[in-house]
Amino acid sequence: MPQIVTASRLADGVVVFLDDGGGWTERLDRAAIFAGKADSAAGLDAGRTAEVRSLVVDVYAVDVALQAGVPVPTKLREAIRARGPTILPEFTKPGSTPAQVQEDDHVSV
Amino acid sequence: MYRYDEFDAQFVAERVAQFRDQTGRRLAGELTEDQFKLHRLMNGVYLQLHAYMLRVAIPYGSLRSKQMRMLAHVARRYDRGYGHFTTRQNIQYNWPALQDCPDILADLATVEMHAIQTSGNCIRNVTADHFAGAAADEVADPRPYAEILRQWSSLHPEYSFLPRKFKIAVTGADRDRAVIQAHDIGLQVVKDASGALGFRVWVGGGLGRTPMIGHKIRDFLPEADLLAYVDAIVRVYNLEGRRDNKYKARIKILVHEKGVEPMREAVEAEFAKGPKGLTLPADDVARIRAYFAPPAHAARPAASEIVAQRRGSDPRFAAFVDTNVAKHREAGYGIVTISLKPIGGIPGDASADQMDVVADLADRYSFGEVRVSHEQNLVLTDVALDDLPSLYDALEAAKLATPNAGLVTDIIACPGLDYCALATARSIPVAQRISERFGEGERARDIGELKIKISGCINACGHHHVGHIGILGLDRKGEETYQITLGGSGDETASLGDLTGPGFSTDDVVDAVETVVDTYLGLREGADEDFLAAYRRVGMAPFKKALYERDAGREI
């Protein structure tokens, strides 16, 4: 199953994802996608380095399924963590749902 | 209310400076997370699902209006414009940045507030009856004792690293509004035959994964021995409580494994060793009590003409007075519950603007004080009955006048999987759907007093074990599943709820709750028999049948 690597940003606690450039993004749709557990090990190593540098805390890998190009976590806890509280739609995180990405695509970036 | 003396003020200021230094060193990479975490938690800063969470202490749930305005300021400036009032009478902010926390704590210190001992294996915020000082049925105000316990337990060197967290609650009335029997120590202020004040003492209550009702180990403890006796209990626990297993480390497990009588004997033996300087001097008790002196109530007629007139023309106002206004010890005054449970809303949440409104209304109508209840509502304790119509109108304008205190929609819910890193299922959406199902009309009023409490994991922050209807959200093979318990109670007749049977899916749980309520309505012996009384009379069978044998019933 594909995986992404996530963490919490140290300074503000915001949920972040490892991106393709080895940096950290708040946008789920820009997370680096690893083909499986074996591949995400390199991402976890990068995460641990960032932990040592006090950029992020609590690094771990999350199983995802691709939906319209967005890696959506398969477990409810991780899906809510990536997307925001289900009770407050106004706090839905940008880039966290396939619908939002399609909208962005339509507007054309 | 209690005011800081110079020592308190200096201590809190020093603590803020320490935490600022610790946070700075963490952000600079000089401290690792493992090194920093303890300091962070000792200042109320958790890392949750989406962000950090800051839990601010509100000792025994009492606030001055100025403090409430500061809570609004923190919500507005450092968070997302709202806060969440908790079952420990505290407030939690869901989105603070770690780098802002020292500034937040510095701002809070300007109004004598802090986040010390809102986390960790120490004595947590001491809770009390939210009607304290005003309730008609009260023997004495429990808050002076809660304040004495707070001062004694703050950074107590012997009790800063207990086997596990430790919670104390105090009430001053026979009617227990503070769930004292579900606490590590529960205290009830009573008078003996000679009229002297003292305490009934319970020990070993608690919810969580192993719920237990506390055991009474003293019928009367003289007032002067409060600290010496509580000290003896905590000392026995500190020495004998388990440290090998986090899940068996609370005092309730010690009491259970040791036995109530041996526990009582151990506490009495420790207590008998001598007061160790902890006997309360009467002068000091009087000095603390003076901080909680009743406000200057005016002489007023017992009934209000203005209220009577408005009642006649405004059914919703009448419903508000019936459900949200409790009897005050002074004639012509009432205790007003401000519901933080709007129909379909998030239990316990208040916006910064609403906090400001409540602070203003406290100044105008209730001597500048606000209470936070463990049921996640706010309370104005000293409102002249003649002021009720104008207070109601002001609350209504701020969407704070829902007439549902104690009714089926006055639901306790923990933050659940929408915020909490430990949760296994969502709580808030279930509360919202139940609230919408029953609404605030005639039907909800007809159901009468009914306490629904929802937790999103077995840690039971939503007190589900003592809900008349308790709901526990679990993760069953990746799906949210909700177990229902019936017949729990957190009052003076405390009891743990009984499990109905297999859990319900998120789609079915609200229907299941409605089935339970309809079953109650069908079997009660009249509107005077509330849900809990009816359940205790008939037991589980009819509810179980209605929940699980509906199809079988149709075939008959």
Which tokens sit at B120? 């960790």
Question: Does residue A99 have a pLDDT over 70?
Answer: no
B219 and B275, same domain (yes or no): yes
Q: Nearest-CA neighbor of B24 among B5, B3, B40?
A: B40
User: Which pLDDT band holds residue B6 (cuts at 50, 70, 90)?
Assistant: confident
Domain ranges of chain A: 3-107
Q: Which residues of B fall within a CB distance of 8 Å from A12?
A: 51-52, 97-99
Q: Is B280 helix (H, G, I), strand (E, B) or coil?
A: coil
B423 and B348, same domain (yes or no): no
The residues pairing with B85 across neighbouring beta strands, listed in sequence order, are B91
B548 and B431, same domain (yes or no): yes
Domain holding B429, by residue range, is 414-555
- Rg (C-alpha) for chain B, rounded Å, is 23
Q: What is the pLDDT of residue A103?
A: 45
Q: Is B315 helix (H, G, I), strand (E, B) or coil?
A: helix
B326 and B393, same domain (yes or no): yes
- Assigned domain for B150 exists: yes
CATH of the domain at B40: 3.90.480.20
The residue from B346, B369, B397 where one domain ends is B397
Q: What is the pLDDT of residue B40?
A: 96
DSSP string, B188-231: EEEE-TTS-EEEEEEES-B-TTS-B--EEEEEEEEGGGHHHHHH
Q: What is the pLDDT of residue B275?
A: 74
The contact set of A with B (CB < 8 A) is 8, 10-15, 51, 53-54, 57-58, 74-77, 80-81, 84-88, 91
Does B418 contact A80 at a Cβ distance shorter than 8 Å? yes
B363 and B512, same domain (yes or no): no
The set of residues, in sequence order, having a beta carbon less than 8 Å from that of A45 and lying 6+ positions away, is: none
Number of structural domains in chain B: 4
Does B47 contact A10 at a Cβ distance shorter than 8 Å? no
Burial class (CB in 10 A: 0-12, 13-18, 19+), A23: middle
- Assigned domain for B176 exists: yes
User: Which pLDDT band holds residue A104 (cuts at 50, 70, 90)?
Assistant: very low
Question: Does residue B110 have a pLDDT over 50?
Answer: yes
Question: Does residue B335 have a pLDDT over 50?
Answer: yes
What are the pLDDT digits (tens) for B506-541?
Answer: 999 999 999 999 999 999 999 999 999 999 999 999
Q: How far is B51 from chain A (nearest CA, A)?
A: 4
Pairing of strands B325-327, B168-171: unpaired
User: Which pLDDT band holds residue B58 (cuts at 50, 70, 90)?
Assistant: very high
CA distance to A6, B3, B129, B293, per residue, from B289 (Å): 52, 12, 16, 7
Question: Does residue B1 have a pLDDT over 90?
Answer: no
Give the rounded percent of residues in chain A with a pLDDT score beyond 70.
Answer: 90
Query: ipTM score of the complex?
Result: 0.94
Report the residue from B52, B429, B432 with minimal CB separation from A13. Answer: B52
Q: What is the pLDDT of residue A106?
A: 41
Which tokens sit at B146? 């809660």
B552 to chain A, any CB pair closer than 8 A? The answer is no
Q: Nearest-CA neighbor of B115 among B134, B133, B138, B98?
A: B98
B331 and B360, same domain (yes or no): yes
- Assigned domain for B1 exists: no
Q: Which residues of B fall within a CB distance of 8 Å from A91?
A: 80
Q: Which residues of A fall within a CB distance of 8 Å from B418?
A: 80, 85-88
